């Protein structure tokens, strides 16, 4: 009876120890992603096209296609675009 209790206790202690060591050694988390800030702009300093105005964009290159990233900022409840008349 004492031998069985000792064996079970020893097995429990070894199992817990291996679980703790294994949990620390085999960490499954990936390395953090390195992020690069492409452009950081304060919107208060930028000039843009005034509201309800037509704006034109031209491609400066004669050979390469233009790459454009556009976004709209509008106040809540206001239309995002206005049709040209």
Prediction pTM value: 0.32
Residue-wise pLDDT tens digits, 31-79:
778 878 777 766 665 566 777 677 777 788 889 888 877 777 777 888 7
- Spatial separation of the C-alpha atoms in residues 74 and 81, rounded to whole Å: 9
Cβ-contact 66, 59 below 8 angstroms: yes
> Minimal CA–CA distance to 78: which of 51, 49, 56?
51
The predicted pLDDT at position 11 comes to 95
For residue 1, pLDDT over 60 is answered with: yes
Question: Which residues are CB-contacts of 1 (< 8 A; sequence separation ≥ 6)?
Answer: none
Query: In whole angstroms, what is the distance from residue 25 CA to residue 17 CA?
Result: 12
């Amino acid at each position: 009876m004492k031998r069985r209790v000792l064996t079970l206790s020893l097995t429990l202690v070894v199992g817990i120890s291996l679980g703790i060591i294994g949990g620390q050694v085999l960490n499954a988390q990936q390395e953090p992603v390195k992020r690069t800030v492409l452009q950081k702009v304060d919107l208060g300093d930028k000039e843009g096209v005034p509201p309800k105005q037509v704006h034109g964009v031209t491609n400066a290159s004669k050979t390469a296609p233009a790459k454009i990233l556009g976004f709209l900022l509008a106040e809540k409840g206001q239309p995002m675009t206005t049709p040209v008349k």
